[in-house]
Amino acid sequence: MLHPNLKSFNHAPHKKYYAEVLLKSEFDKYQQFEQQQLLSNNNNMNILIYWNNNKSLYPILTKIAQRLLAILATNIRVERLFFDSGNTITSHRTRLQTSKVDQLLFIHRNISTLKELFPPSIEQLTKRKITILQ
């Protein structure tokens, strides 16, 4: 149970509103001016250089882009991938093609997201239930 003071975070609603207005105006400005230039330029532009060059025009959007485009400085994801690939490629499955291994690893890593995007139908759920009960 939350403390009554923590149930509402509207301690400074005017600041939240001001931040939303700033972000919306900056985003509208970006859409008006930059979309036309992005479409006319070639598609080989480096997005990191773009945001670095335009950080004074779009300071809020630049911070968002930096957070979204940041590269993690750890090996944990790579180590997990190697671990998963070791579980996928076993002595019984040595003839798997690399494309099939890539697909299996992708599905394994993204199974929860895939389930959210493509939930099973009611027929599939009832079939599973019947199979489990038998």
Over the stretch 112-126, which tens digit does the pLDDT of each residue have? Answer: 887 777 787 877 777
Query: Would you state the pLDDT for residue 89?
Result: 77
pLDDT interval class at 1 (50, 70, 90):
very low
* Contact in structure between 125 and 115 (CB atoms under 8 Å): no
pLDDT at 133 over 50: yes
Question: Is the four-CA dihedral 126, 128, 132, 134 of positive or negative sign?
Answer: positive
Per-residue tokens: 9: 């975070």
Give me the residue spans of the domains in the chain: 12-69, 76-133
Cα distances from 134 to residues 81, 122, 124, 130, in angstroms, run 36, 19, 16, 6
Which is more confidently placed, 110 or 4? 110
Over the stretch 21-78, which tens digit does the pLDDT of each residue have? Answer: 888 888 888 888 776 666 666 567 788 888 898 899 989 889 888 888 887 667 777 7
pLDDT interval class at 17 (50, 70, 90):
confident
Per-residue tokens: 53: 């060059």
Cα distances from 55 to residues 29, 46, 59, in angstroms, run 13, 14, 5
pLDDT at 6 over 50: no
Over the stretch 67-101, which tens digit does the pLDDT of each residue have? Answer: 888 876 677 777 777 777 777 777 777 788 888 88
Q: What is the pTM of this model?
A: 0.42
Per-residue tokens: 126: 């009832």
Q: Show the CA angle centred on residue 41, arms to residues 40 and 45, nearest 5°.
A: 150
